[in-house]
Amino acid sequence: MTKKRGMKKRKEFFFILAVLLAGILFLVLSPVNAEESSSYFCAERTTNGLWCMNVPWDEVNTNYDYTQTSCEATSFCKAGTCVNGIEGSCRPNVPEVVCNDAGGIWDERERDEISQCQLGCCYIGSGASFVTQTKCSSQSSRYSVETVFDPSIKDSDKCIASAYPEEEGACVFDDGFVRNCKRLTSAKCDTEKAGAAEGTTVEFHKGTLCTAAHLETKCIPTERTKLESERDEVFFVDSCENTANIYDASKIDPVVQDYWDYMIDKSNSCVLSSDLRNADVCGNCNYLEGSIGKRYDRGNSQMFSKAPNYGDYICADLGCEYEGEHYEHGESWCGTTSTGKDFLPGSQQFRFICDYGEIRKEEMDPFRGTICVESEVEGFRTANPRANLWRDCVSQDNQEDCEDVQERDCVWINGTGASILRDEDGNPLVINSDGKLVPIDELEYGDPGVELGPFGERIRDTIEAACVPKYPSALWFWEPNETKEDLSSENAKNAMDTCSFGNDICIVEFVKGKFFGTWDCSDNCYCLGLEDDAGKHFSERNMENEWVVNNLEVCVALGDCGISENYLEKEGRWTWEDLVEVTELKEEDFENEK
Amino acid sequence: MKDDKERGRNYYSISNKKAQVTIFIIIAIVIVGAALLFYFLIPKAETEAVFDETNPQAYIQTCIEDKIKDTVEILSLQGGSIESEGYILYQGDKIEYLCYTSEYYVPCKIQRPFLVEHIESEIENEIEDDMKMCFDALVDFYERRNYDANLEGSGDTTVELLAKRIKTSTDYTLTVSKGSGTDRYERFSVLVNNNLYELASIANDIIDWEAEYGDFDTTYYTTVYSNIKFEKHNQQEGSTIYILTNRDQGTKFQFASRSVAWPPGYGEVPIFD
C-alpha cells in the first residue's frame, strides 16, 4: 500500500527531494547520441572481413560497396537462396554478392519455392539421405557408389526408414583345392566373380554365413569377437575373419546351433538388458538405447563388472553419473554457476548433456537472452534453451497480461514504490478496481485507495505495482579498468539505460511550525521513513524504509541492477549511499525541479 | 726359467693390452663411422626407400601426403580456411565465421555457401608448390638413374573431398625411357584417409539451421551420429563455436557462427538515415 504522493504549494515551505537512483547513478541518463545511432551502413565487406553487414561507419571497408541503408534494401547484399548448380545444395540466407562470388546462382525466393531445391530421397548404397536430385547425383561420386533418387518421398524420416540395406551372404570361391569364403553383398560377389582366376568358381549364398556346414568352406567358427564400423553391436568372427552373427555366448557351440549357418537379424538376436547385466553373454548393444560395443577394460565404469565370456569386446554403458544421479546417453539437464539463488550478477546457466559416457556442458546465453528449461517425456529427461521473454515486462499495465506465460516471462509485484510506469507528470501509476495501472487522477470512487470523505472523495492508500522480469537479464557492466566513478563505456551506458527503468523520485514536504519554527514533515513522509503504513510518525529518518526497499526490489528484478551480491556471494559495486540520494531544495527551486 | 716365464707372461700381458687398446680404437672408429654414415645417409635412404622406378605413384603419395595432412589439420581448426577472414579467436585458433550477423535478434547470413568446394580450393592452393617440387624430385630421381624423364601437363592440382578420404589428383603425365623401353604414367592421385567431407557436410547442416532459425540444438545430431562428438561453446558477445570431432580418428572441424544473438539489457537497434 502506498501513500498519496501529492505536491502542495505553500510559500513558507521548504522541500527535501529524496531521490532514489534505483538504476545506477544518474537521475536521467542521456539518450544515445542521435548522430551515432544514425551512422549505420550496409557494408558489402566489413573491415574484419565479413560480408554484407549492417555496421557503424568505422567498420565499413570502403574498398567495397556500401550505402547508408539496411542491407536488405540494397541490390548487392540482399539475402536469398544460393543454389549450387553442380553439387545441388541450396543454402538459405546468403547475400547475393557472396553467392555470386562463390559461383552459385542466387535466387531471392525461399528454398521451398525453388524447383531445384525440392528434396527427395536419395538412396546411397545401403543408406539414404534427404537431399536435392542434383545433390544425390553428386554424392554418387563423393561416395563412389550408385545412387537412386526418389522425388515422391517428401519426408526426411520416411526416407531414412525406407533405406534398404543390400543383402549380404557367403561368397564362396572354389579353386578345386580349397573352398574359401568372404561375407559380401551380392553385387560385390559378382565383381569378385568377374575378376576370378581361371578355374575358380564363385557362388553367392544369400543370407548364409561362411561357416555354414553345408557350404563346406575352410572357414570355421571361433570364440573371438569383433566390432564393425558404423554398427553398435559386438559380433562373432570366423576363422577367415568374416563377421558372423551378434555375439551370444549361448550360441558358441556350432554343432547344436544353426547360429553359425545363417544370418540372424538384430531383432531376433539375444536381448541385452537395459542395465547391461547380461553384457558378458550378449553383444546386442543399441546406441539409441545407450550402449555400444567397446573393447573390454576392467575397471572402466562404463563396462559391466564381468568380462565377456568370449572375446575382447562388450556392450558398454554410455550413461553418465552426475551428483549421484544416473543419466542415460542423450539425456540433458540444467545447471548454473550460482551456488544459491539463480540469476545473480555473473551467474550463468548451463545445459549438461550426457554424451557417450561423458558429460558435455553447453553455456546458455551469458546475458540470459535464453534460459534453460527442463522437461521429461516417458522418463527421458531433456533440457533445452528457450528465449527469455523479459523485454516487454515493464510496459505491462495489468497482472493478467504480465503473467501470461504464453507471451512473456514476467511477474507482478506490488507495494509502496513498486510502480515503474508513470503518468504525464511523472507520477507513478496506481491500480484501479480492474487491476489495471492508471494515473492517480483517473481513480474513481470504488477504486482501491479512494474513499468517501465528509467533503467528497479522497485518495489515501493507493496501490502501486509493476511487471518485472521473472528471469532478470544480465548486463554488461564489467568493462576492464572501469570504476563506479567512471562509467563511460557504451556497455555501461546500455546497462544504466536498462536499470534506469527503476529510477524513482519522491518529494517529501516539510512545513515550518508557526510557534517553535521547527520543520515538520507533512507529505510523502514514508519516503524518508518518517511515517509507517499505520500513519505513525517518527522523528528519525530511516532510509531502509518500505518505499526504498520496494524500489530496490524492482530495481534488482530488472536485471543486474541495484544492490546485490554476485554469484560468488560477494558484495556488489553499489551501496545504499550510492543509490539513494537526498537533496534539499529551497522553496524557490521547487517549481523548476518539479 | 721362472724369470723367462715371468718375462714371457709380462710380455704377453703387455702385448695383450696393446692389442686390446688397438681393438677398442678400431671398434670406436667403426662405431663413429657407422654413426656418421647413419646420420648422413639415412635421411636420403628414407626418401629413396619409397622410390621405386616402376611405381612413381607411390613416391608422389609419400612425398605429398604429410603436406596434405598438415594443411587439412590447419584449415579444419580454422573453419575451412588457411588464412581466416572474419574470425573469432578461440583458444589460440582463428576460427572463421561460416555464418554471421553483427546485429541482435536476427539470424545470421551465410558467409561460405559452398564450404566443401572452398576447402578443396584452399588445399589445392596450399599444396600446389609442394606438389610441383615432388614431381621435380621424381624426375630428378629418374635422371640420376640414367633415365630420360619427361613431365607433361600444367601441374594443375585438383582436390576432392570424398567420403572418408581426400583425393588429390594432378594433370601431369610422366614419360620415362631407358634404352629402348618407355613407360608412361598418368592420372597421378594421392589418397589421404580423412572424414573432412562428412564433418564439413554436418557443418553445412548446422549453418543452414542457424541461418534460418538461429540456435542449433546438438542433441538430435548426437543421437544420429554416434561417431561424431558435438561441442558447442557460446561466447559472451553472442558467437557460438562448434567443434565436431570424429571419435574414431580424433579429427576435428571447428567453425563459428553468430546468429540470433541476445544483447545485454535492451541493446541497441541500428538506425539508418
* pLDDT at B6 exceeding the cut of 70: no
What letter represents residue B88's amino acid? Answer: I
Report the pLDDT value the prediction gives residue A18, as an integer from 0 to 100: 42
Residues A573 and A507 reside in one and the same domain = yes
Of residues A394 and A305, which shows the higher confidence score? A394
First-to-last alpha carbon distance for chain A, in angstroms, is 24
Q: In which domain, by residue range, is A412 found?
A: 393-593
C-alpha cell of residue A171 = 561368397
* Nearest-angstrom CA–CA distance, A367 and A559: 9
> Of A132-146, A444-458, B167-181, which has the strongest mean pLDDT?
B167-181
Residue with cell 551428483: A323
Query: Distance (Å, rounded) from C-alpha A264 to C-alpha A284?
Result: 12
Q: A139 vs chain B: nearest CA distance in angstroms? A: 9
φ, ψ dihedrals at B59, nearest 5°: -65, -45
What pLDDT sits at residue A258? 84
Residues B265, A104: C-beta atoms closer than 8 Å: no
Whether residue B150 has pLDDT greater than 80: yes
Give B16-65 pLDDT, tens digit per residue: 667 777 777 778 777 777 766 655 554 444 444 467 888 999 999 999 99
**B112–A356 C-beta distance less than 8 A:** no
Query: How near does any CA of chain B get to the CA of A288, in Å?
Result: 6
Interchain contact A26–B (C-beta under 8 A): no
| pLDDT of the residue at A304 | 78
Which cell numbers in the block locate residue A7? 505536491
Looking at the predicted structure, is the pLDDT value of residue A58 above 60? Answer: yes
From B109, B116, B272, residue closest to A95, measured CB to CB? B109
Environment class of B193 (CB within 10 Å of its CB; exposed 0-12, middle 13-18, buried 19+): exposed
Q: Does A186 touch chain B (CB under 8 A)?
A: no
- B256 at A interface, C-beta within 8 A: no
How many domains are there within chain A? 5
A308 occurs within a structural domain: no
Nearest CA in chain B to A47: B86
- Amino acid identity of residue A242, one-letter, is N
The answer to whether residues A424 and A400 belong to one domain is: yes
Q: How would you write A367-400 as a 3-class SS string? A: CCCEEEEEEEECCEEEEEEEECCCCCHHHCCEHH
Q: What pLDDT sits at residue B176? A: 94
Q: Which of A36, A39, A93 to mutate to test the interface with B (most CBs of B within 10 A)?
A: A93
Cβ of B232 and A362 within 8 Å? yes
Is A89 in contact with B204 (Cβ distance < 8 A)?
Answer: yes
- Does residue A25 sit within a domain? no
From A44-48, A340-344, A433-437, B225-229, the region with the lowest mean pLDDT: A340-344
Distance CA A143, CA A128 (A): 12
Is the same domain home to A151 and A168?
Answer: no
Task: Confirm if B107 and B258 have CB atoms less than 8 A apart.
Answer: no
Pick B125 or A460 by higher pLDDT: B125
Whether residues A434 and A561 fall in one domain = yes
Residue B205 touches chain A, beta carbons under 8 Å: no
A305 or A30, greater pLDDT:
A305
Taking alpha carbons only, the member of B40, B37, B48 closest to residue B140 is: B48
**What value does the mean pLDDT take over residues A275-285?**
94
C-alpha to C-alpha distance for B70 and A400, rounded to whole angstroms: 62
CA distance A395 to A410: 11
- Output the pLDDT for position A591: 62
C-alpha–C-alpha distance, residues B181 and B176, integer Å: 8
Place of cell 522541500: A15
- Cβ of A287 under 8 Å from any chain B Cβ? yes
In a domain? residue A100: no
For B205, the enclosing helix (H) or strand (E) is helix B196-212
Asked if residue A31 has pLDDT above 60, the reply is no
Higher pLDDT, A32 or A303: A303
Task: Pull the grid cell for residue A569.
Answer: 556471494
Partners of B268 on chain A (C-beta within 8 Å) are: 32, 37, 494
Burial class of residue A174 (count of CB atoms within 10 Å of its CB; 0-12, 13-18, 19+) = middle
> What pLDDT score was predicted for residue B49?
43
Question: Is-contact A252 A310, C-beta < 8 A?
Answer: yes
Q: Which three cell numbers stand for residue A390?
A: 523479459
Same domain, A456 and A545: yes
Establish if A360 belongs to a structural domain.
yes
Q: Which of A345, A371, A387 is the last residue of a domain?
A: A387
The answer to whether the CB atoms of A475 and B111 lie below 8 A apart is no
A50 closest CB neighbour out of B86, B197, B230:
B86
- Give the gap in angstroms from C-alpha A114 to the nearest C-alpha of chain B: 16
Q: What amino acid is encoded at B107 in this protein? A: P
**pLDDT for B100:** 97
Q: Which three cell numbers stand for residue A48?
A: 574484419
Cell output for A186: 551380392
Q: Which of A392, A564, A560 lies closest to A467 in space, CA to CA?
A: A392
- By CB atoms closer than 10 A (0-12, 13-18, 19+), residue A446 is exposed
Residues B204, A370: C-beta atoms closer than 8 Å: no
How far does the CA of residue A126 sit from the closest CA of chain B (Å)?
14
Range list of H helices, A287-427:
399-402
A499/A587 same-domain check: yes
How distant is the Cα of A374 from the closest Cα of chain B, in angstroms? Answer: 14
For chain A, what is the mean pLDDT? Answer: 86
Buried b (16+ CB within 10 A) or exposed e, A30-58: eeeeeeebebbbbbbbbebbbbbbbbeee
* A142/B161 Cβ within 8 A: yes
Backbone dihedral angles phi then psi of residue A223, each to the nearest 5 degrees:
-100, 10
**Quick one: which of A70, A69, A71 has its CA closest to A52?**
A71
Among residues B205, B200, B208, B214, which one has the least CA distance to residue B244? B200
Q: How many angstroms away from the CA of B122 is the closest CA of chain A?
A: 13
User: Do residue A422 and residue A547 come from a single domain?
Assistant: yes
Contact state of B111 with A51 under an 8 Å Cβ cutoff: yes
Asked if residue A167 lies in contact with residue A184, where contact means CB atoms within 8 angstroms, the answer is no
pLDDT reported for residue A34: 35
Contacts of B261 in chain A (CB under 8 A): 369
B interface test, pick of A41, A287, A320, A367 with most B CB neighbours within 10 Å: A367
Residue B148 pLDDT exceeds 90? yes
* pLDDT for A569: 86
Give the Cβ contact number of residue A540 at 10 Å. Answer: 7
Contact flag A104-B261 (C-beta cutoff 8 Å): no
Same domain, A329 and A360: yes
Whether B251 contacts chain A with CB within 8 A = no
What backbone phi and psi angles, to 5 degrees, belong to B69?
A: -60, -45
Q: Residue B227: its chain A contacts at CB < 8 A?
A: 230
CB contact under 8 A, B262 and A369: yes
What is the residue-averaged pLDDT of chain B?
Answer: 87
Query: Is the pLDDT at A8 greater than 60, yes or no?
Result: no
Which residue of chain B comes nearest to A55, CA vs CA?
B102
Nearest to B265 among A89, A365, A475 (CB): A475
Residue A113 lies in a domain: no
ipTM: 0.81
Nearest to A205 by CA among A226, A195, A219: A219
Contact between residue A498 and residue B266 where contact means Cβ atoms under 8 Å apart: yes
pLDDT in the model for residue A455: 73
A274 within domain boundaries: no
Chain A residues within an 8 Å CB radius of B229: 355-356, 360
Chain B nearest-CA residue for A370: B262
Does the pLDDT at position A19 exceed 70? no
Distance CA A114, CA A124 (A): 24
- Per-residue model confidence (pLDDT) at position A580: 85
- Asked if the C-beta of B130 comes within 8 angstroms of chain A's C-beta atoms, the answer is no
The confidence score (pLDDT) of residue A226 equals 96
Is the domain of A143 the same as that of A208? no
Residues A149 and A122 sit within 8 Å (Cβ to Cβ): yes
Quote the percentage of chain A above a pLDDT of 70: 91
Question: CB–CB of B109 and A367 under 8 A?
Answer: no
Are A404 and A375 in the same domain? no
| Closest CB to A366 among B103, B227, B236 | B236
The answer to whether the CB atoms of B102 and A48 lie below 8 A apart is no
Within this chain, do residues A423 and A400 fall inside the same structural domain, yes or no?
yes
| A116 backbone dihedrals φ, ψ, rounded to 5° | -65, -15
- Three-state DSSP at A149 gives strand
Let me know: does A290 contact A317? Beta carbons within 8 Å. yes
A50 touching B, CB under 8 A? yes
CB–CB of A566/A474 below 8 Å?
no
List the beta strands (DSSP E) in A137-267.
Answer: 147-150, 168-174, 179-185, 201-206, 221-227, 234-238, 243-246
Q: Is residue A311 part of a domain?
A: no
Taking CB atoms and an 8 Å cut-off, how many pairs form between chains A and B?
177
pTM: 0.82
- Tell me: do A440 and A513 sit in the same domain: yes
> Does A329 map to a domain?
yes
**B-contacting residues of A 229-258, CB under 8 Å?**
230, 232
Instruction: Give the least confident one: A332-336, A492-496, B129-133.
Output: A492-496
- Among the residue ranges A158-167, A281-290, A559-568, the one predicted with the least confidence is A158-167
CB contact under 8 Å between B113 and A143, yes or no, is no
Cβ of A142 and B217 within 8 Å?
Answer: no
Q: What are the residues whose beta carbons fall under 8 Å from the beta carbon of B165, sequence distance 6 or more? A: B191, B192, B193, B194
Which residue, A177, A193, A219, sits at the end of a domain? A219
Residue of chain B with shortest Cα separation from A393: B266
Residues of B in contact with A387 (CB under 8 A): 262
